[in-house]
Amino acid sequence: MTPVQVIIAYYFLAVTISTIVLSLPFTLQKGVKVSFIDTLFTAASSVSVTGLATVDVSQTYSTAGIWVLMAIFQIGGLGVMMISTFFYLILKRRIGLKQRQLIMTDTNQFTMSGMVRMLREILVLIFGIELVGALILGIYFIPLYPNFWDAMFQGLYNSVSLVTNAGVDITGKSLIPFANDYFVQFISILLIIAGAIGFPVLLETRRFLFEKNTLIPFRFSLFVKVTTLTYFVLLILGGLLIWLFEYNHFFSGKSWDFGFFNSMFLSATSRSAGLQTMDSGALSVSTLLLVSFLMFIGASPSSVGGGIRTTTFAITILFIYSVIRGRKHVYIFGRELHQEDVRKSLAVTFVAGFISISAIVIMMQTETASLISVIFEVFSAFGTSGLSVGLTPDLSTPGKLIIIILMFIGRVGIMYSMLSLRNKNQPKNAIRLPKEKIITG
């Protein structure tokens, strides 16, 4: 098996084990029974950190079950290889060459040099962010809950759910009760960005702030520049467009600050997080289509999110711009992009679009729902966002299976899904055939 095939097999194993554990009686509330397909759906949603649910999590799973869910989407968000390496480090076991290669594949890195040290930094950084978020939200929630420990548990759960972009809700109301609480929304947006913007961005930002070398000027990598620019342009532009689309609809008669903060939160959460402060079913069709587009793009590579990823979208747009300008190569920030990266981005965008459209067409035959509801559900699953207009609980069995597949592909990634079909010993085609022009356009 190739490293990509091994990684995908590990994710399949994670879904299988999660399904078995969530079927055990101690994870369920007394008297509650969940069908196999719904348990599988919940497991796949948690491993892929999507957040879509066919059952009411707060009414279905016990306190132990909630802890199990939190552990599952921690594994799904950080990646199976990263979590397994974490336990290797705790047990002080040697990490071999094969495992380092798998780690490199799972984290989208180009070299095995410094892999374990990088992984240790990521784990410390993510766990640290989750802990700080849990303390801030937990302390803030104290007046809202019966006792101190309930408030701290809610703070911890929401922090982990936001950083891993899981979007699994245990209150049944998501963050809708905090639609007027801009502090909770602001902290939540920061936690969502921490998980979705990409681990390399967090690491380079930390080095820029705390490990400056006065002799050698620090330079951010091209990946970090493109990722950060694309992420924040989509975040801000998406929020402003949502605010504009809902100005005379959902936000009609409401204050400007309510519209601004809730629009920005929806733009942030649509990238992969899934928690919401507004009922998606009450939004206009224009907004639902815009949010579907943002979910299709998803988060950044080497992050907890899904979708085609921000860099893929950016390279596709840059390629189109280069074609319009008559250029043979793609440039950004004074650098020329590799043709292989351009080809991969175009392939990922095309295949992702084809899979999503195919899923929409099939689900229009299997579900009794409007077209916009199906479109929103499909892109939410593929982008591992978890937002829904209420269709998820009413999905048919074929519809649930389609969404499960989309969630899995969205988390693993289109490129890995395609590479998994490649034979390890498949010879490369070194023969160049004669060229001939063909009419296009």
Query: What DSSP assignment string belongs to 172-191?
Result: SSTTGGGTT-HHHHHHHHHH
The predicted pLDDT at position 10 comes to: 81
Rounded-to-integer distance, Cα 414 and Cα 408, Å: 10
SS3 sequence, 56-119? CHHHHECHHHHHHHHHHHHHHHHCHHHHHHHHHHHCCCCCCHHHHHHHHHHCCCCCCCCHHHHH
* Residue 414's pLDDT band (cuts 50, 70, 90): confident
Rounded-to-integer distance, Cα 351 and Cα 111, Å: 27
The predicted pLDDT at position 124 comes to: 86
Q: What is the DSSP letter of 32?
A: -
* Residue 96's pLDDT band (cuts 50, 70, 90): low
- Asked whether the predicted pLDDT for residue 226 surpasses 70, the reply is yes
The predicted pLDDT at position 140 comes to: 93
Per-domain boundaries in the chain:
3-417
Q: What is the pLDDT of residues 311-334, one digit of tens each?
A: 999 999 999 999 999 888 899 988
Rounded-to-integer distance, Cα 220 and Cα 233, Å: 18
Tokens, residue 314: 């950016």
The predicted pLDDT at position 86 comes to: 62
Q: Of 265, 127, 261, 275, nearest to 189 (Cα)?
A: 265
pTM: 0.88
The predicted pLDDT at position 234 comes to: 94
Q: What is the pLDDT of residues 124-138, one digit of tens each?
A: 888 899 999 999 999
Rounded-to-integer distance, Cα 433 and Cα 273, Å: 47
Rounded-to-integer distance, Cα 187 and Cα 172, Å: 21
- Asked whether the predicted pLDDT for residue 402 surpasses 70, the reply is yes
Residue carrying structure tokens 């921000």: 310
61 bridge partner residues: 28
Residue carrying structure tokens 């999660």: 18
Q: Of 275, 301, 294, nearest to 79 (Cα)?
A: 301
Average pLDDT of the segment spanning 374-383: 92
Average pLDDT of the segment spanning 343-370: 92
